[in-house]
Amino acid sequence: MTEPHPPTNRDVKKALRLAALARRDALDPHTRIEAALVIAEAGAAAIAIKPGDVVSGFLPIRSEMDTRPLMAALAERGARLCVPAILDKTTIEFRELVRGAPMVDTGFGTVGPGADAAVLDPTVMLVPLAAFDARGHRIGYGAGHYDRAIARLHARRLFPRLVGIAFDCQEVEHVPDEPHDVPLSAILTDSGLRSFSL
């Protein structure tokens, strides 16, 4: 009889992802709205923005935190906004989000500006995630889009501040990390902003 194999990092991440997303899915609508307003207020006060900084946000899908109030608050402080568009299975680009621009299907269940929008390099990235730990490590949705986008920016010597966006219930004790994983600079939840020493 063969011994069972110990779970791989991938197995552990999948289990943590499913459990954290189930907790997020179970939140009631009132809690979600309140949390979105809390992160807008806390993030606007705590995320350093200079006029002209480029902030990549995201328009919520499924049970994600609604970042629109936060993005609006950062825009009021002079930030240019962009959101991801999924070009193929491996690549995303960040298209400028301007008031009144038509929205199109941008992949993975998302909508955003069309292909004629300006493509920007973020200086601050609001990063969606499934789970995170107290060290600033995150688990994404499994497709690796953000990991590759961050790696491409780093290859061009661009190092945006990475701010994870989540509900408190998505925190886990420990995210298995690998050498290529890039930890978050900070996490913004309904408890406020926590910065990590990197």
| Residue 162: strand, helix, or coil | strand
Nearest to 125 by CA among 71, 181, 72: 71
Cα–Cα distance for residue pair 32/63, rounded to 1 Å:
9
| 156 marked as binding residue | no
Distances (CA, A) of 53 to 71, 91, 123, 128, 160: 12, 23, 6, 19, 10
3-state secondary structure 82-118: EEEEECCCCCEEEEECCCCCCEEEEECCEEEECCCCC
Give residue 122's identity as a one-letter amino acid code: P
| 37 marked as binding residue | no
Residue 81 contacts residue 108 (beta carbons within 8 Å): no
| 142 marked as binding residue | yes
| 143 marked as binding residue | yes
- Ramachandran area for residue 100 (φ above 0: left; ψ -120 to 50: alpha; else beta): left
| 145 marked as binding residue | yes
| 16 marked as binding residue | yes
| 15 marked as binding residue | yes
| 138 marked as binding residue | yes
Residue 137 contacts residue 183 (beta carbons within 8 Å): yes
| 146 marked as binding residue | yes
| 78 marked as binding residue | no
Residue ranges of the binding site for substrate: 59, 64
Residue ranges of the binding site: 13-17, 59, 64, 138-146
